[in-house]
Structure 1
Amino acid sequence: MDLSINSTSLTPTPTNSAGDSKLRGVALGFELLTCFVGVITCCFSHYCLKTCKLIQSGMKIQLQILFTTDIVICLIALPGHAAIEYRILSGVHDNKTSSTVFTSLYTVATEIERATVMLIAIYRMMAVCFPFKYRYWSQKKVALLVNLIACSPVVLMRTIKHFIKDDSGIEAFDPNNYFIDSFMQFGFISAPTVITLIVYLVMALFMLCKKGSISPPDSCERSVRIFILTNTLFEVPDIIMHAAKATVDNAAFIIIHVIYRIHFALDPILFVGLNARYRQMVYQCCSSNIRVREAVTDTKEEDTLESKC
């Protein structure tokens, strides 16, 4: 995950070449488009989760938390964070309060999202490898408690960091400048990503070894597994970039962040698009809305004609 702008830094990074400025502008536009698509697709995902009665309650809760977090990111956190990021990289002074709010919200939300994806992967592995234990852990209260325990350290550590860290005069949002940023990137981003990949690998190996004794996954499970893998793979280039100590004035820094942020819109598309049942739900929802609008339009036209008569 791309770590946030240092929230209290008001020292702008000098503008580089015109080509860099154009690249930042294109990146900002693409990220805003990602946000727009993400809000719409996450709403459809929520609709499918609310309508479908076949999915386990524990998995439904975790997916609802994930897509709710994505909506917050795409609707509020990422647009504000991306705009501030663009302004600071372009050498424009920004308001300290707005930088702090949007940066903190974006950072916490993305770290909660990463923890939730990790939990979903663990739950999928339990469903395959330990189905009896999975029934207990997928209970509504248990699933809520597990998510609370996994996500609480994110909020706690970010709150502590906000009060103890002095960012003044630091180059804009470069996570390589502070040990505490590097530590939290490893603890809340890199580590969950590595755990997710290991869990996914264990699940795949188990299914390969037990081939024939495990019933094939339905379309819902298959779509969840694919979006878990895709979501995680989008994180890997960003982790490698930060491990290589890439600087903010590097074009790769901007491009890889844009690529990473695509998954906010791609995850719900994969979740809905790879499930025939959910695709049908979305189609029926859209069709019914179109028919209702057409009926309302026809009624208004008839009323207009009658009034003229």
Structure 2
Amino acid sequence: MKVGVLGGGRMGAGIAHAFLLAGCEAAIVERDNASADAAAHRIRDIIARSIDRGTTDRGADELNAALSVGHDAAAFATCDLVIEAVPEDRAMKAEALSRIERTAPDAAVASNTSAISIDDLAAPLARPDRFLGLHFFNPVPASTMVEVVVGAATAPAVVDRARGWVEMLGKTPIVVRDSPGFASSRLGVALALEAIRMLESGVASAEDIDRAMELGYRHPMGPLRTTDIVGLDVRLGIAEELQASLGERFAPPALLRRLVAEGKLGRKSGEGFYTWERPGQETP
């Protein structure tokens, strides 16, 4: 199986890496040479770390031989599946999907969107029957599920194939009908926004709010630390999308807007609700 990924950022590289470890070929396409070079460095670093950690018994030469990274979408022509993994922006995703459809006429096409309607994204496509959502979680290697989002026009056979692809990765497919925020983002953002409001109003510290969910409800990670890992800018974008469709209960708190405006995006920037000194270590 050959899988294409449009966008080689953290998510795109993680998705390509997951398929490589499952024995597939992977083609990452970026917007230009500089971005492609950065993406190549990113995924080769991920491959090296997975080998060092013993999460694969395949060698670097074998994995890198199954990988191509460039800026020419013609690489998608022979793919069985192409996934767009560009930022959570409607216009960017629409352009990305149009580019994929032009260059991969026979492939199933998926969006990694975490909140944008699959039916809205499918509307301009010539073949909406082969389109669906595959919502991977960050970080991809550590996540154990993928949300399979079914649009009104998605063919049942494509849904069945998508379930199989997710299981091939060693992850569990969760199948949901297209709706605002699907299942995971809608529930996750609702909890995160309330936690941010509690922090904003001084109910408790970030650490204690997180501990309440970790110790009281057995969540593996609290909502504020999770938001730091996901990215405050990503959470803000999803909240705005949900606010537009579901109402003011998803209105982003002023604290979230302020932190994003200040560039405090969480782990990727080094500071969010926690200060991240290095991966895996943070302080409130």
Relative to the length of structure 2, the TM-score reads: 0.32
**Bigger Rg over Cα:** 1
The structure with the greater share of residues assigned to strand is 2
